[in-house]
Amino acid sequence: MSDPTRPQGPKIIAVANQKGGVGKTTTTINLAAALQETGNRVLVVDLDPQGNASTGLGIESQDREFTTYDLLVEDAELADVIQPTELDGMSIIPATVDLSSADIELISNEKRSFLLHDALRQPAMDAYDWDYVLIDCPPSLNLLTVNAMIAAHSVLIPLQSEFFALEGLSQLMLTVREVRQTANTKLRIEGIVLTMFDARNNLSQQVEQDARDNLGELVFETKIPRNVRVSEAPSFAQPVLQYDPSSKGAEAYRALAKELLNKQLTLAA
Protein backbone atom coordinates (compact mmCIF):
# COMPACT_ATOMS: atom_id res chain seq x y z
CA MET A 1 0.00 0.00 0.00
CA SER A 2 1.46 3.37 -0.88
CA ASP A 3 1.91 5.98 1.79
CA PRO A 4 2.09 9.54 0.50
CA THR A 5 4.15 10.73 3.49
CA ARG A 6 6.64 8.04 2.73
CA PRO A 7 10.04 9.47 2.09
CA GLN A 8 12.10 8.11 -0.78
CA GLY A 9 12.73 4.59 0.31
CA PRO A 10 11.05 2.86 3.21
CA LYS A 11 9.57 4.48 6.27
CA ILE A 12 11.82 3.53 9.17
CA ILE A 13 10.26 3.14 12.62
CA ALA A 14 12.25 2.46 15.80
CA VAL A 15 10.27 0.55 18.43
CA ALA A 16 11.85 1.75 21.66
CA ASN A 17 11.45 1.96 25.40
CA GLN A 18 14.39 1.50 27.76
CA LYS A 19 12.12 -0.32 30.19
CA GLY A 20 12.39 -4.09 29.84
CA GLY A 21 9.50 -6.38 29.00
CA VAL A 22 7.00 -3.73 27.91
CA GLY A 23 6.14 -5.31 24.56
CA LYS A 24 8.72 -3.86 22.14
CA THR A 25 9.52 -7.14 20.43
CA THR A 26 5.92 -8.31 20.43
CA THR A 27 4.86 -5.03 18.86
CA THR A 28 7.66 -5.08 16.29
CA ILE A 29 6.85 -8.62 15.13
CA ASN A 30 3.09 -8.23 15.06
CA LEU A 31 2.90 -4.74 13.65
CA ALA A 32 5.28 -5.91 10.94
CA ALA A 33 3.01 -8.88 10.22
CA ALA A 34 -0.06 -6.64 10.17
CA LEU A 35 1.59 -4.26 7.73
CA GLN A 36 2.63 -7.25 5.61
CA GLU A 37 -0.95 -8.49 5.63
CA THR A 38 -2.10 -5.25 4.01
CA GLY A 39 0.38 -5.72 1.19
CA ASN A 40 3.43 -3.90 2.50
CA ARG A 41 6.96 -5.11 2.13
CA VAL A 42 8.49 -5.06 5.60
CA LEU A 43 12.00 -5.49 6.95
CA VAL A 44 12.47 -6.15 10.67
CA VAL A 45 15.85 -5.20 12.12
CA ASP A 46 16.65 -7.03 15.34
CA LEU A 47 18.80 -4.54 17.23
CA ASP A 48 18.66 -6.36 20.56
CA PRO A 49 21.44 -8.79 21.56
CA GLN A 50 18.72 -10.92 23.17
CA GLY A 51 17.61 -11.77 19.61
CA ASN A 52 13.97 -12.21 20.60
CA ALA A 53 12.57 -10.83 17.36
CA SER A 54 14.75 -13.28 15.43
CA THR A 55 13.52 -16.21 17.49
CA GLY A 56 9.93 -15.02 17.29
CA LEU A 57 10.15 -14.93 13.51
CA GLY A 58 11.61 -18.39 13.23
CA ILE A 59 15.32 -17.70 12.72
CA GLU A 60 17.03 -20.09 15.10
CA SER A 61 20.41 -19.14 16.54
CA GLN A 62 22.32 -21.65 14.44
CA ASP A 63 20.85 -20.03 11.33
CA ARG A 64 22.08 -16.56 12.24
CA GLU A 65 25.34 -16.64 10.32
CA PHE A 66 25.24 -12.96 9.43
CA THR A 67 23.57 -10.58 11.81
CA THR A 68 22.99 -6.95 12.72
CA TYR A 69 26.42 -7.06 14.33
CA ASP A 70 27.99 -7.88 10.96
CA LEU A 71 25.99 -5.13 9.28
CA LEU A 72 27.09 -2.49 11.80
CA VAL A 73 30.57 -3.55 12.80
CA GLU A 74 31.83 -5.61 9.87
CA ASP A 75 30.20 -3.74 6.99
CA ALA A 76 28.50 -6.93 5.81
CA GLU A 77 26.46 -6.92 2.59
CA LEU A 78 22.69 -6.50 2.91
CA ALA A 79 22.22 -9.60 0.80
CA ASP A 80 24.10 -11.61 3.41
CA VAL A 81 22.31 -10.29 6.49
CA ILE A 82 18.71 -10.10 5.27
CA GLN A 83 16.82 -13.36 5.75
CA PRO A 84 13.31 -14.16 4.54
CA THR A 85 10.62 -15.10 7.06
CA GLU A 86 7.67 -17.41 6.47
CA LEU A 87 5.63 -14.41 5.41
CA ASP A 88 5.89 -13.25 1.83
CA GLY A 89 7.55 -9.87 1.53
CA MET A 90 8.66 -9.82 5.15
CA SER A 91 12.33 -10.31 6.05
CA ILE A 92 14.56 -9.88 9.07
CA ILE A 93 18.11 -8.98 9.90
CA PRO A 94 18.64 -11.25 12.91
CA ALA A 95 20.72 -10.56 16.01
CA THR A 96 22.81 -12.59 18.38
CA VAL A 97 24.50 -11.86 21.66
CA ASP A 98 27.55 -10.63 19.66
CA LEU A 99 25.75 -7.34 19.37
CA SER A 100 26.21 -6.68 23.08
CA SER A 101 29.88 -5.88 22.56
CA ALA A 102 29.22 -3.37 19.76
CA ASP A 103 29.22 -0.42 22.20
CA ILE A 104 32.76 -1.10 23.31
CA GLU A 105 34.12 -2.18 19.96
CA LEU A 106 32.86 0.96 18.30
CA ILE A 107 34.09 3.38 20.92
CA SER A 108 36.81 4.86 18.71
CA ASN A 109 34.66 4.91 15.58
CA GLU A 110 33.63 8.49 14.90
CA LYS A 111 30.60 7.38 12.92
CA ARG A 112 29.45 4.93 15.60
CA SER A 113 26.04 6.57 16.05
CA PHE A 114 25.33 6.64 12.31
CA LEU A 115 26.16 3.06 11.40
CA LEU A 116 22.57 1.86 11.12
CA HIS A 117 21.51 5.07 9.38
CA ASP A 118 24.18 4.57 6.75
CA ALA A 119 23.57 0.83 6.42
CA LEU A 120 19.86 1.34 5.75
CA ARG A 121 20.50 4.08 3.22
CA GLN A 122 23.03 2.33 1.07
CA PRO A 123 22.02 2.10 -2.60
CA ALA A 124 21.67 -1.69 -2.35
CA MET A 125 18.54 -1.11 -0.20
CA ASP A 126 16.59 0.22 -3.20
CA ALA A 127 16.38 -3.13 -4.92
CA TYR A 128 14.39 -4.58 -2.00
CA ASP A 129 11.71 -1.92 -2.29
CA TRP A 130 10.73 -2.08 1.38
CA ASP A 131 7.71 -0.05 2.45
CA TYR A 132 8.56 -0.25 6.14
CA VAL A 133 11.58 -1.02 8.27
CA LEU A 134 10.79 -1.75 11.92
CA ILE A 135 13.69 -1.73 14.37
CA ASP A 136 13.34 -3.73 17.59
CA CYS A 137 15.45 -1.85 20.16
CA PRO A 138 17.08 -3.26 23.30
CA PRO A 139 15.80 -2.23 26.75
CA SER A 140 18.36 0.50 27.16
CA LEU A 141 19.14 4.00 25.94
CA ASN A 142 22.54 2.88 24.70
CA LEU A 143 24.48 3.29 21.47
CA LEU A 144 22.24 0.76 19.72
CA THR A 145 19.07 2.64 20.56
CA VAL A 146 20.70 5.92 19.53
CA ASN A 147 21.63 4.27 16.21
CA ALA A 148 17.98 3.31 15.78
CA MET A 149 16.76 6.82 16.55
CA ILE A 150 19.22 8.37 14.13
CA ALA A 151 18.33 5.86 11.42
CA ALA A 152 14.56 6.23 11.91
CA HIS A 153 11.89 8.62 10.72
CA SER A 154 9.88 7.99 13.87
CA VAL A 155 9.84 6.28 17.25
CA LEU A 156 6.99 4.04 18.34
CA ILE A 157 6.82 3.57 22.10
CA PRO A 158 5.07 0.57 23.67
CA LEU A 159 3.82 1.42 27.15
CA GLN A 160 2.91 -1.45 29.43
CA SER A 161 -0.37 -0.90 31.23
CA GLU A 162 1.20 -1.48 34.62
CA PHE A 163 2.27 0.48 37.64
CA PHE A 164 5.27 2.76 36.97
CA ALA A 165 4.49 2.63 33.24
CA LEU A 166 5.05 6.33 32.76
CA GLU A 167 8.20 6.34 34.81
CA GLY A 168 11.18 6.57 32.52
CA LEU A 169 9.10 7.98 29.71
CA SER A 170 10.47 11.47 30.28
CA GLN A 171 14.01 10.13 29.96
CA LEU A 172 13.04 8.47 26.70
CA MET A 173 11.41 11.68 25.43
CA LEU A 174 14.52 13.60 26.41
CA THR A 175 16.68 11.26 24.38
CA VAL A 176 14.35 11.68 21.39
CA ARG A 177 14.64 15.46 21.79
CA GLU A 178 18.43 15.30 22.00
CA VAL A 179 18.63 13.22 18.85
CA ARG A 180 16.25 15.65 17.16
CA GLN A 181 18.40 18.61 18.16
CA THR A 182 21.56 17.02 16.88
CA ALA A 183 21.70 14.14 14.47
CA ASN A 184 18.15 13.66 13.18
CA THR A 185 16.12 16.89 13.14
CA LYS A 186 13.11 15.25 11.50
CA LEU A 187 12.64 12.47 14.06
CA ARG A 188 8.98 12.20 15.10
CA ILE A 189 7.13 10.28 17.75
CA GLU A 190 4.99 7.86 15.74
CA GLY A 191 2.88 7.22 18.80
CA ILE A 192 2.63 5.55 22.15
CA VAL A 193 0.78 2.26 22.28
CA LEU A 194 -0.63 0.75 25.45
CA THR A 195 0.31 -2.91 25.66
CA MET A 196 -0.85 -5.81 27.83
CA PHE A 197 -4.00 -3.86 28.57
CA ASP A 198 -6.48 -5.54 30.89
CA ALA A 199 -9.86 -3.80 30.75
CA ARG A 200 -10.97 -5.47 34.01
CA ASN A 201 -8.03 -4.10 35.87
CA ASN A 202 -8.37 -0.64 37.43
CA LEU A 203 -4.65 -0.14 37.14
CA SER A 204 -4.76 -0.54 33.35
CA GLN A 205 -7.55 2.04 33.19
CA GLN A 206 -5.55 4.36 35.41
CA VAL A 207 -2.44 4.06 33.27
CA GLU A 208 -4.52 4.75 30.17
CA GLN A 209 -6.07 7.82 31.76
CA ASP A 210 -2.69 9.14 32.89
CA ALA A 211 -1.16 8.51 29.49
CA ARG A 212 -4.00 10.22 27.63
CA ASP A 213 -4.04 13.17 30.06
CA ASN A 214 -0.31 13.71 29.82
CA LEU A 215 0.48 12.70 26.28
CA GLY A 216 -2.75 13.47 24.47
CA GLU A 217 -2.79 12.67 20.79
CA LEU A 218 0.52 10.89 20.93
CA VAL A 219 -1.31 7.91 22.42
CA PHE A 220 -2.81 5.55 19.85
CA GLU A 221 -6.55 4.88 20.24
CA THR A 222 -5.77 1.20 19.73
CA LYS A 223 -4.81 -0.68 22.88
CA ILE A 224 -3.16 -4.10 22.78
CA PRO A 225 -4.98 -6.38 25.23
CA ARG A 226 -3.21 -8.89 27.40
CA ASN A 227 -3.87 -12.05 25.42
CA VAL A 228 -2.38 -15.47 26.01
CA ARG A 229 -2.22 -16.22 22.26
CA VAL A 230 0.14 -13.25 21.87
CA SER A 231 2.53 -14.71 24.41
CA GLU A 232 2.30 -18.23 22.97
CA ALA A 233 2.99 -17.26 19.36
CA PRO A 234 6.80 -16.73 19.65
CA SER A 235 7.35 -20.30 20.84
CA PHE A 236 5.76 -21.39 17.55
CA ALA A 237 8.08 -18.97 15.75
CA GLN A 238 5.14 -17.06 14.35
CA PRO A 239 3.50 -13.67 14.68
CA VAL A 240 0.15 -14.00 16.47
CA LEU A 241 -1.52 -12.94 13.20
CA GLN A 242 -0.34 -16.24 11.76
CA TYR A 243 -0.54 -18.37 14.89
CA ASP A 244 -4.11 -17.40 15.73
CA PRO A 245 -5.43 -14.95 13.13
CA SER A 246 -8.75 -14.33 14.86
CA SER A 247 -7.40 -13.86 18.38
CA LYS A 248 -7.93 -10.58 20.23
CA GLY A 249 -4.20 -9.94 20.01
CA ALA A 250 -4.09 -10.39 16.23
CA GLU A 251 -7.12 -8.12 15.81
CA ALA A 252 -5.50 -5.47 17.99
CA TYR A 253 -2.28 -5.43 15.98
CA ARG A 254 -4.31 -5.16 12.76
CA ALA A 255 -6.12 -2.19 14.26
CA LEU A 256 -2.81 -0.62 15.25
CA ALA A 257 -1.47 -1.00 11.72
CA LYS A 258 -4.65 0.53 10.33
CA GLU A 259 -4.44 3.46 12.72
CA LEU A 260 -0.81 4.02 11.85
CA LEU A 261 -1.56 3.96 8.12
CA ASN A 262 -4.57 6.29 8.55
CA LYS A 263 -2.59 8.74 10.65
CA GLN A 264 -0.10 9.03 7.83
CA LEU A 265 -2.82 9.62 5.28
CA THR A 266 -4.25 12.38 7.49
CA LEU A 267 -0.85 13.95 7.93
CA ALA A 268 -0.33 13.92 4.19
CA ALA A 269 -3.70 15.48 3.39
Ligand X SMILES: Nc1ncnc2c1ncn2[C@@H]1O[C@H](COP(=O)(O)OP(=O)(O)OP(=O)(O)O)[C@@H](O)[C@H]1O
Q: What is the total count of residues that contact Mg ion (CB under 5 A)?
A: 3
Order the strands of the 42-46 sheet from edge to edge.
83-84, 90-93, 42-46, 132-136, 11-15, 154-160, 188-197, 219-225
Chosen from Mg ion, ligand X, none, partner binding at 224 (C-beta under 5 to 8 Å by type): ligand X
Longest dimension (CA), the chain: 51
Nearest to ligand X of 78, 260 (CB atom) = 260
Shortest distance, position 188 Cβ to Mg ion, whole Å: 22
**Min. distance of Cβ 100 from Mg ion in angstroms?**
14
Task: Kindly tell me the sign of the dihedral angle through the C-alpha atoms of 92, 132, 257, 21.
Answer: positive
Chain position whose Cβ is nearest to Mg ion: 25
Residues lying near ligand X in the complex (CB under 6 A): 20-26, 48, 50, 52, 139, 195-196, 224, 226-227, 230-231, 249
Q: Name residue 219's beta-bridge partners.
A: 192
Nearer to ligand X, 52 or 154 (CB): 52
Separation of alpha carbons 116 and 212, rounded Å? 32
- b/e per residue 217-240 (b: at least 16 CB within 10 A): eebbebbbbbbeebeebbeebbbb
Closest approach of Cβ 226 to ligand X, in Å?
A: 4
Which partner from the list Mg ion, ligand X, none does 223 bind, CB cut-off 5 to 8 Å by kind? none
CB 24 → Mg ion: shortest distance, Å?
A: 5
Q: Which stretch binds Mg ion (CB under 5 A): 51-59, 156-164, 233-241, 258-266?
A: 51-59
Yes or no: say if 102 and 70 are a contact pair by the CB < 8 Å rule: no
Smallest distance, Å, CB 251 to Mg ion? 22
Q: Which of 156, 136, 133, 155 is nearest to 40 (CA)?
A: 133
Q: Write down the least CB distance from residue 32 to ligand X, Å.
A: 13
Binding mask 8-27 for Mg ion (x = CB under 5 A): ----------------xx--
Q: 10 vs 23, which CB is nearer to Mg ion?
A: 23
- Helix or strand run (H / E) with residue 15: strand 11-15
**Among candidates 173, 249, 159, which has minimal Cα distance to 208?**
159
Residues of the shown chain interacting with Mg ion in the complex, contacts defined by CB under 5 A: 24-25, 52
